[in-house]
Amino acid sequence: MIQLLTPTHWKDYELIDCGDFEKLERFGNLILIRPEPQAVWNKGLSEAEWQKLHHIKFKGRSATSGEWVKKNNNLPDRWNIEYQNKDVKIGLRMALTSFKHVGMFPEQAVNWDYISQNVKKFKTAQPKVLNLFAYTGGASLIAKAAGADTTHVDSIKQVVTWGNENMELSGLKDIRWVVEDALKFVKREVKRGKTYNGIILDPPAYGHGPNGEKWKLEDSLNEMMHDVVKLLDPEEHFLILNTYSLGFSSVIVQNLIQSAYPKVQNLEIGELYLQATAGSKLPLGVFGKFYKHR
């Protein structure tokens, strides 16, 4: 069965409305308008309501950059929010970046809940969790807060630094930060005979390593999966594969996982979405995940 999952524990985030290639979102007390290529339908609320509600709007200059237009110049460029489920609580710093991101993907809270639930259920005293393509570290913080020995890998130094700030904001310590190409890191860990109880992959459609390594999802993901499963602790583990790529199907993710790891147990596949208060559902990627407990 293909699942449709949306976060249920957010208090500091709300998708108010989406449509006409935009989304109206609340992060804490600030309401933003950002581009959204998937929102091809009409808005639920009127244009007048959008203009009245929002505080800051992103205006794109090119496909990869733009600027934020504030209604009031006193509005901050940086602010903090929190996420809490029944297991853990973390803090996250939001920031207005030149490429429309703010430092967090709210639909990933579905995966965060899966991480904390599994880490808490493991019999291993301090399970090891590896977060690849880890961005600003939401999943790393959740794993650490749940009690895991956590390694965070991303190729961009600035977002790893951002993740470190999020760790301090969350009152956590001792996450292992690695600035490296994810595929290279995995191959080296396989050679070293390392194992992890939890592995999280949230690869981009396109990307570059710190030394110019090229990543293209459809070209590299199969190789990555076959290497990553060699790092799974055979007795007790979970793995999450999340992809945000237009046209990528959860059935593709299912085939990738079953091909790389034929003995997979408790496999779930599906699509993540955000439920807009105004009524529509915004699809935001597909996932495959599985676990094995002792």
Q: Using only the alpha carbons of the chain, give its radius of gyration.
A: 19
* pLDDT of 46 over the 70 cut: yes
Share of the chain above pLDDT 90, in %: 89
The DSSP output letter for 151 is: E
Model confidence, pTM: 0.95
pLDDT tens, 138-158? 999 999 999 999 999 999 999
Distance CA 49, CA 46 (A): 5
Task: Determine the straight-line distance between the first and last CA of the chain, rounded to whole angstroms.
Answer: 25
- Whether the Cβ atoms of residue 45 and residue 17 lie closer than 8 Å to each other: yes
Distance CA 27, CA 112 (A): 18
pLDDT tens, 161-220? 999 999 999 999 999 999 999 999 999 999 999 999 999 999 987 777 777 777 777 788
- Rounded mean pLDDT of 35-53? 97
Characterize the bridge pairing of strands 78-84 and 89-95: antiparallel
- Whether the Cβ atoms of residue 152 and residue 275 lie closer than 8 Å to each other: no
Contacts 24+ apart (CB under 8 A), 122-125: 122/197, 122/236, 122/293, 122/294, 123/236, 123/293, 123/294, 124/197, 124/233, 124/236
Cα dihedral 270, 271, 272, 275 sign: negative
